[in-house]
A = this chain, B = another copy of it.
Amino acid sequence: MDKVNLVNAFSRFTEQWTPKVVGALNGQHVKLAKVQGEFLWHRHADEDELFLVIKGTLTIHLRDRAVTLHEGEFFIVPKGVEHKPVAEAEAHVLLFEPASTAHTGTVVSERTVTDQTWL
C-alpha cells in the first residue's frame, strides 16, 4: 500500500455517517468518517471502537456521561457499551476497530451501512 494523507483522503468524499476504509492491519480497519448531527444509540457486542477526532468536535454520549473530543483527542468505547456520537458541526473522525465491526452494532436502522467501502 501507499501512505495515506488524511486531509487528502477526507477531501475525496462528502457523505456523512458512512465510514470509508483507508487501511487494514491485523484484522482491524482504519476508517474515516464525516459526521454531523445525531447518530443512533448502539453498541458493538464484541468490538472495542476507537474514535480520533481529526477536525472539529465530536461528543460521544454514553448512558452515564458524555465525552467531548476535540481535534487530536481520542476515546475508546469498550465492547458492549452503548454510545451515541453527536456533532453539532461537521467533524472528521478516524476510527480504528476490528474489520468485523457492524456499523450500528446490534441495532439495525435505515441509517445502517452494511458494506465496508474502501475509499
Residues of A within 8 A of B (CB): 1-7, 23-26, 28, 30, 47-50, 54, 67, 69-70, 72-76, 78, 96-98
Contacts and interface: CB of A to CB of B under 8 A. Distances in A.
Nearest to A70: B5
A102 B2 CA distance: 24
Nearest first, the 6 closest Cβ-Cβ pairs linking A and B are A25-B48, A3-B75, A6-B72, A5-B73, A25-B76, A26-B48
Contacts of A5: 70, 72-73
A49 B76 contact: no
A26 B25 contact: no
A50 B30 contact: yes
Contacts of A2: 67, 75
A49 B25 contact: yes
A75 B22 CA distance: 10
Given A26-B28, A26-B98, A96-B25, A7 B50 contact: no
A5 B3 CA distance: 24
A62 to B, nearest CB: 12
A116 B39 CA distance: 36
